[in-house]
Structure 1
């Protein structure tokens, strides 16, 4: 059971999130993804709760709540999509346009 928490302040720590969510039940794990290049938090997190009832209570209480100057976006996390598929049929970023150039 995982919850997505978005619109977070960049100063938020995993410990901060754990403290907020433990008001609604058992917090299993908090993941706070960081940017690979800068190491800064990316502004969202995933929180695992002990039961679905605890998860629901946290979502209902915290979605839209103001925290650290931001209105939180809190909902059930969606399964991660496979990022390997290009979905573009091999056009590699040219938006379907022909890669041929006219030199005339």
Structure 2
């Protein structure tokens, strides 16, 4: 399984719409649209998890493609960097 980063996503996009877009290239395990912690509004990006072969095909086909009026940025997700813990005095 590969995790794919999908950037510049239209704010009105639903997880189902993103899943349908990526399902053209293979089996989609999950879609997670990232939302703002405080407002709950979408932040304009998502993560899609799908089988390796389909993921590579989707990245090649969808990176730079227009979706609902916005140009998508699609690439393999990188592991999240550990942030140093903030200490409060």
| TM-score normalised per structure 2 | 0.91
Q: How many residues align?
A: 86
Encode CA deviations 1:51-88: one digit per residue, 9 max, x unaligned.
x11111000000000001000000000000012357xx
CA distance in 2, matches of 1:21, 1:63: 11
Higher Rg: 1
What stretches of structure 1 move > 4 A for 4+ residues in a row?
A: none
Give the number of the structure whose residues are more often strand, by fraction.
2
The residue number in structure 2 matching 1:93 is: none
| TM-score normalised per structure 1 | 0.78
> Any stretches of 5+ residues in structure 2 without a counterpart?
none
Q: How does 1:35-50 map to 2 (within 5 A)?
A: 35-50=36-51
Q: How does 1:43-58 map to 2 (within 5 A)?
A: 43-50=44-51, 52-58=52-58
Q: CA RMSD in A?
A: 1.4
Aligned to 2:35, the other structure's residue is in SS state coil
The residue number in structure 2 matching 1:25 is: 26
More relative contact order, 1 or 2 (CA 8 Å, 6+ apart): 2
